[in-house]
Amino acid sequence: MKSFGSFILFFIIGYFVLGEVYYAAAIGISGYFLIKIIFESTRVFAFREWALFLYAINYLFSPAVTYQFDQALLTYPMKVGAADYYALAIPGFLCFYVGMYLFKTQIFKPRMDKIKRDGRNNESLLINFVVIGTLLRLFSSVFPGEIAFFIYLVSSIRFVGAFSLFSANPQRHWKWVVGLLIMELYFGAIAAMYHDAVMWILFFALYYVYSSKPSIGVRLIGLTGCLVFILFVQGLKGAYRSKISETGTSNLGLVIETSAGVTDEIGSEDNILGSLNRGNQAWIFASVKDRMDRVGDFQGLHILGIYIESALLPRVLAPDKLMSGDKKIFNTFSGHQINQNTSMGLGVFADGYIAYGYWGVMFFTFGLGLLFSLSFRIIESWAKLSEFYVLMVLPILNYAVRPDCELQTTINHMVKGLVVFGILVSLTKYNFIFSGGNGGKVKRTVMPLIDR
């Protein structure tokens, strides 16, 4: 009830500030999920709330801000009117919400006492996860094509291991988590691609709040810190990429040199508006709607079929399947032309509109939410062995929570993630000491890869 009250409060604020019901609804929905994350994340692992908040920011809140400016002056203008846009975006978002909550699940209320016991009982195995996952991450670039993607997926087990070790003994094992996050920041800084690092930092923040239950004051300070960090990263990313273009090099020294000039600009209007623009996947959706309404070449399920083929079939069976990062579909249907070095994706809303217009948006957003929901049920079946396996939700849905991700990549990551981590569960359950319901141990054959 408190959360619903927050929706009403933000709706009223949005209406008085922006003056339209659809803007007010966009602000209200975004505020609703923000309040749920802040105030309810100690009693529920707020993964779903975080995913919905990201989609709300990209498809509801950011366009509401963008519409307040002269579109002719913007780099990323909204090519359809606000009323027409929100007539699609708000129902589409609600369909996504319904799909995600269609099946009941308890995986977001795991019993921390059982996770802690399993962590203590299997410390060696969890350290193996961290060490092997880290080595795979370091050497993933030497593997070719699709093998590299599977190596990347498997390497994500390092975070599951590190988070579990932290649960078992925070004072002793915090170094594993911090070390992994610093490593991700390093790789992100060198490549000027921070998505993975930022996402894993925020995932850990959500998990820390649920497992350690800090006070509301600590949560608000942490939220402020995350906001400042994201603004810093957004400012650094643009400046650093410009430096790379100028110098033709990319290294840590250049990152440090560039960051020194960014710190003073974190709270500037340009950086804040630029961050909102980069978090506005809606402009691509609006551009697709504008182009499709003019051209009318709706694709039905043809494009979705291409995505599914790419996700399910190996290249040996489908040699002409869509390459990851291929911009042909984006350039054809978005009304914009970008090169292979530019990272932009259509997103689920746009793909839905390309298929069937209005009803395609509803079908695709509900379908993506349903895929989330089915993934939760599969992971819940693993969690019956040990609630430790709940953490598998993070590497499996790491890409699905990103609104700017191509639907092809989202489906590919979810399907292959479920397969890869399903196999890992099948293998590790025989090397795992599980906690019994009475706090005792149910022992399986333990074969640690690293003896301590």
- 273 part of a folded domain: yes
- 407 part of a folded domain: yes
- 11 part of a folded domain: no
- 33 part of a folded domain: no
- 14 part of a folded domain: no
> Which residue is listed with tokens 């670039």?
141
What per-residue confidence (pLDDT) applies to 361? 95
Quote the tokens at residue 277: 């623009």
- 22 part of a folded domain: no
Query: In this structure, which amino acid lies at residue 122?
Result: N
The model's pLDDT over 256-289, given as tens digits with 9 standing for 90+, comes to 666 666 665 655 556 566 666 666 688 899 999 9
Give the integer Cα–Cα distance in Å for 321 and 362.
27
Entry pTM: 0.88
Structural domain boundaries enclosing 124: 41-443
Number of domains in the chain: 1
Q: pLDDT over 90 for what percent of the chain?
A: 35
**Long-range interactions of 262-267: CB distance < 8 A, separation 24+:** 262/232, 262/235, 262/236, 263/232, 265/235, 266/228, 266/231, 266/232, 266/235, 267/231
What per-residue confidence (pLDDT) applies to 191? 72
Asked if residue 316 has pLDDT above 70, the reply is: no
What are the Cα distances from residue 100, in Å, to 17, 75, 110, 398?
Answer: 31, 33, 18, 15
Residue 447 pLDDT grade (very low, low, confident, very high; cuts 50, 70, 90) = very low
Name the more confident of 71 and 32.
32
- 110 part of a folded domain: yes
What per-residue confidence (pLDDT) applies to 189? 75
How many degrees, rounded to 5, is the angle at CA 372 between CA 355 and CA 9?
A: 90
- 448 part of a folded domain: no
Count of beta carbons in the 10 Å neighbourhood of residue 354: 27
